[in-house]
Chains A and B, each alone.
Chain A
Amino acid sequence: MSLAVAPVPAEPPVTAIRPSRGWAELNLGELWHYRELIYFLTWRDVKVRYKQTLLGAAWAILKPFLTMVVFAVVFGQLAGIPTDGAPPPIFYFAGLLPWVLFQDGVTKAGNSLVAGSHLITKIYFPRLAIPLASVVSGVVDFALAFLILAAMMVYYGLRPTSALWSLPLFLLLALATALGVGLWLSAMNVAYRDVGYVIPFIVQAWMYASPVAYSATLIPEGPWRIVYGLNPMAGVIQGFRWAILGVGAPPSGLLAVSVVVSVLVLIGGALYFRRMERTFADVV
């Protein structure tokens, strides 16, 4: 008997479609499969934003810069809030960079599903791609503003600290927090449009709860610092200033609490999102 070697046709992927119940798994593999889509959605966000406005990319710099000027006058000059010994403009600007990244990420991600409803009702892809692209697109603004920060440091004759290597970690923490919060808000926004109106208030209140306009060192050492760290942005902003300017307290218990909270918010947000996802196309 001879062994006939028949060419085995590549078996096409099989997709099963059935009603799902309860919590869905995250299915990050699928998200990876759609990485090009995430890239293009991010790219579209950035491109459109810069094209639609008169000043284009300059807004990425102007927004934190003008806020910094206001802060320097109001909090630095008038209120005289201490800036850990750093020149006030650079102190505020270093805090505003991660804050604006977070603020824009949460705002855009929170509204992203509603804004992208025409995509959701017409085509299939992992819905996580939409808020994810919204958050990631903020990195371009961040990078542009970071160049200004570098220029300011040269101007003030400040040398970066040796802890600069940890900067990407804080950046990552800010993105993870923004994505986590954004996932919760975007999924809720689909079911309850009120969320869209609440987001600006949440973000504003959050800013005052974060060490943007003041230093985290104003919070007394001890258990209160740890409680303060429940706001992950406290850890991010404090860490940012420490890594760049070497001012304020080095990462400690506060940061550890921030990381834990951020990871919990992110995982919880992703699970909640996946659970709500199946009704998006019907409800949005």
Chain B
Amino acid sequence: MSELAIRTENLGKRYRIGAMPSGYRTLRDSLMSGLRRVGRRERAPAFETIWALRSVTFEVPRGQVLGIIGRNGAGKSTLLKLLSRITEPTEGYAEIRGRVGSLLEVGTGFHPELTGRENIFLNGAILGMRRGETERKFDEIVAFAEVERFIDTPVKRYSSGMYLRLAFAVAAHLEPEILLVDEVLAVGDAEFQRKCLGKMSDVAHQGRTVLFVSHNMSAVQRLTEETIVIDHGQLVLRAPSAQAVDFYMTSGMAQAGERLWEGDPRLASAAPFRPVALRVFDGRGRVSGQVASAEPFTIEFEYALDQAITGLRVGLYLSTSRGEPVFTSFDTDDQKAFERHTLRPGGRYRSRCRIPADLLNEGRFVLGVNASSYRIRSYFTDENAMTFSVDGTGAPGSHWPETRSGSLRPALDWEITEAGP
């Protein structure tokens, strides 16, 4: 049957890592290692390798919009690069039926010296559009990008927003049968992102096959029905998007109400800040992965400073397991507290935050942490540090056994009065 747009079988890609900081070598490296081998009669050293992707098998029926999610370095981009033929697989097989357009980046090939008009044609050709096609869509592209007045200005004079809008506009008018999209919406202002998402869902409704890689969980859920989760180069789950996003947001993260950072390789770059632990205490003061909506609870972030830091603020990001932010709060949000702790000397600290009762709705939440000196330096960020769940027992309105939408479930003051007959 030809109803499949993409089929992969045990697709795998191995990269060499280790000795060389980047891919290319200098002749000297090759000569020297060659000479050493001759001298010692050694065989060629086995390079340290890593499977960026391994045993990936899946099928995409024609017309489906499939989300791909996973952590940084999980292999999502490698998968798109294999499918768009930018790089070859090390093993396995894939078959693609239809014209492929890949969008791993917007503005590929844009040249700053060329005008907007010239770049549209150049970029169109690079993305695989025929010249006539670009000519037909030219006005539409310019209008979408809102750069009519500057179309004959070199793009080096564009603001970064205009540049991006133009770049995306060309890409958005690509009409292949299969579209591979990497995290291209991570950039740009919120207004334009909305416009792009709108355009993307138009694409999805035209019956084209789309593979959509993103870290934007709400975009994934809005645009796709089904999503695959990739972790350490393996396809670990394929499920309806809401389920897949929930799995991704909560998998591999501490569920026990405590997250420890000891031995995390990212710590080196955070110095002199050193995260130690993040803990959730339930209403009875026990470390727990589950708290009650009707009781107050405490979130504690423990960290050490190897030397004094000026202007430090340590904060929490709370978001739902669907990736929607709920709130952000810092330990020195109170100006008096900020003045009192302007200089934090070296040592071990705990920043505790008390979450009042009757605030969060039942469900699973994700906690992120951040430590920074405003406008000076961000020391440490972990947006998915741990998860915890909220139990709705005793929450406002829980005498009706129904699920309530929204991430908050506050107890609000209601007044009921008779307004007369």
Chain A interface (Cβ < 8 Å from any Cβ of B): 11-20, 36-37, 39-41, 43-44, 47-48, 51-52, 118-125, 190-195, 278, 281-284
Contact = CB atoms under 8 A, between A and B. Distances in A.
B114 A44 contact: yes
Given A123-B108, A193-B24, 5 more contacts: A12-B2, A19-B90, A51-B114, A118-B108, A283-B23
A96 B17 CA distance: 47
Contact of A16 (B11, B95, B118): B95
A194 B114 contact: no
B108 A119 contact: yes
A36 B24 contact: no
A10 to B, nearest CB: 10
Interface in B72-103: 81-100, 102
Contact of B2 (A11, A15, A192): A11
B111 A48 contact: yes
Contact of A194 (B15, B27, B128, B177): B27
Nearest to B177: A12
Contacts of B87: 278, 281-282
A192 B24 contact: yes
Nearest to B93: A18
A192 B89 contact: no
Interface stretch (B119-127, B285-293, B333-341): B119-127
B417 interface: no
Contact of B102 (A119, A120, A123): A123
18 contacts: A11-B2, A12-B97, A13-B97, A15-B95, A15-B97, A18-B94, A37-B126, A39-B125, A47-B114, A118-B109, A119-B108, A119-B109, A119-B126, A123-B109, A124-B102, A190-B24, A192-B24, A281-B86
- What 7 A-B pairs come out closest when comparing CB atoms? A283-B23, A12-B98, A17-B94, A40-B125, A194-B27, A124-B85, A281-B87
Nearest to A281: B87
A282 B121 contact: no
Contacts of A40: 121-122, 125-126
A4 to B, nearest CB: 19
A42 to B, nearest CB: 11
Nearest to A121: B86
Contact of B104 (A39, A122, A125, A191): A122
B111 A44 contact: yes
Nearest to A190: B24
A187 to B, nearest CB: 12
Contacts of A122: 86, 104-105, 108
B113 interface: yes
Contacts of A51: 113-114, 154
A11 B2 CA distance: 8
A198 to B, nearest CB: 9
Of A20, A44, A118, A283, the most chain B CB neighbours within 10 A belong to A44
B159 interface: no
B375 interface: no
Given A40-B126, A194-B27, A17 B82 contact: yes
Contacts of A41: 125
Nearest to B87: A281
Contacts of A282: 15, 23, 87
